[in-house]
C-alpha cells in the first residue's frame, strides 16, 4: 500500500514514515578492554626497545578511541560504512607516543535480508576484494527489560555467538526495520545499541555501537550493492 503512512510518537521522538522510506542511522563505536590484562599480555610478548609503559598506554588509547559509522537502510537492504574523520590528535604528554590503529571496518558491508546474503567490499594488501556470504542467524532471546535511546523505547535481546562471544542488543519495535550495525540483524525492530563481548587470550573486550541520530534519508537513489573488488 504505497499511500500507507505510519506515524510514530514516542517520548519526544517522532518520525513519519512511508512504507518505502529509507533511514540514515549514525552510530558511534568504541571498545572497552581490560587494561590490566591487555598490558600484562603486551609486556610479556614485547621485544621492542621503546618505552614499554608509554607504548602500552598509547595502544590502549588508540584501541578505545571512538569510530563512527552510518547505516542506510530500507525494509530489505542496507549499506553499512565507516565515516572518514580527520584525526588531528597529538600525544597527550610531551615526547609521548601516538599510535593510530585502523580496524577491519573501513570497507562497505551490503546486506539483503530477503536473499539472506551479504556482500563486503574490503581493501587489503593494496587490492580490493568482494566477499559474498550468507547472513548470520542469531538465536535471539528477547527479555522484558527496556530503556530509552534517542527518545525511542528499546527492548533488550541477547544471543550467544560461540563459546567465547556473546551479544546484547537494544532494538526499537516502533522502527520496523529488522536490521542493525555491522553484521547484526534479525530482531523485530531497528537495533540502536549493540554490545559484542569477546574473550581474547583470557583478556575480555567489548565492542559497542550506539546510535547517535536517526533520520529519513532524503536521497532517492536506491541502495546499491558494492561492485569494487575481485
**164-218 pLDDT tens trace:** 999 999 999 999 999 999 999 999 999 999 999 988 767 788 899 999 999 999 8
Contacts 24+ apart (CB under 8 A), 112-115: 112/76, 112/77, 113/75, 113/76, 113/77, 113/78, 113/178, 113/179, 113/185, 114/76
Widest pairwise Cα distance in the chain: 68
Q: How confident is the model at residue 11 (pLDDT cuts 50, 70, 90)?
A: very low
Contact 190, 200 (CB under 8 A): no
**107-145 pLDDT tens trace:** 899 999 999 999 998 777 778 889 999 999 999 999 999
Q: How far apart are CA 175 and CA 216, in angstroms?
A: 12
Average pLDDT, the chain: 80
pTM: 0.77
In the chain, the domains with their CATH numbers are: 5-216 (2.50.20)
Amino acid at each position: 500500500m504505497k499511500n500507507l503512512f505510519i506515524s510514530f510518537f514516542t517520548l519526544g521522538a517522532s518520525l513519519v514514515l512511508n512504507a518505502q522510506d529509507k533511514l540514515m542511522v549514525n552510530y558511534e563505536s568504541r571498545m572497552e578492554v581490560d587494561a590490566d590484562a591487555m598490558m600484562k599480555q603486551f609486556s610479556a610478548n614485547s621485544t621492542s626497545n621503546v618505552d614499554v609503559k608509554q607504548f602500552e598506554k598509547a595502544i590502549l588509547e588508540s584501541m578505545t578511541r571512538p569510530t563512527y559509522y552510518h547505516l542506510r537502510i530500507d525494509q530489505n537492504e542496507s549499506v553499512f560504512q565507516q565515516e572518514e574523520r580527520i584525526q588531528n590528535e597529538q600525544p597527550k604528554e610531551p615526547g609521548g607516543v601516538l599510535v593510530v590503529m585502523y580496524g577491519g571496518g573501513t570497507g562497505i558491508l551490503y546486506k539483503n535480508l530477503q536473499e539472506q546474503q551479504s556482500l563486503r567490499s574490503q581493501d587489503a594488501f593494496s587490492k580490493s576484494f568482494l566477499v559474498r556470504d550468507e547472513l548470520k542467524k542469531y538465536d535471539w532471546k528477547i527479555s522484558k527489560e527496556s530503556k530509552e535511546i534517542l527518545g525511542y523505547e528499546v527492548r533488550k535481546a541477547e544471543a550467544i555467538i560461540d563459546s567465547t562471544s556473546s551479544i546484547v542488543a537494544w532494538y526499537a519495535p516502533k522502527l520496523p526495520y529488522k536490521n542493525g550495525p555491522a553484521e547484526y540483524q534479525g530482531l523485530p525492530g531497528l537495533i540502536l545499541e549493540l554490545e559484542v563481548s569477546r574473550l581474547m587470550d583470557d583478556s575480555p573486550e567489548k565492542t559497542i555501537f550506539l546510535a547517535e541520530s536517526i533520520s529519513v534519508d532524503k536521497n532517492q537513489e536506491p541502495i546499491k550493492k558494492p561492485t569494487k573488488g575481485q
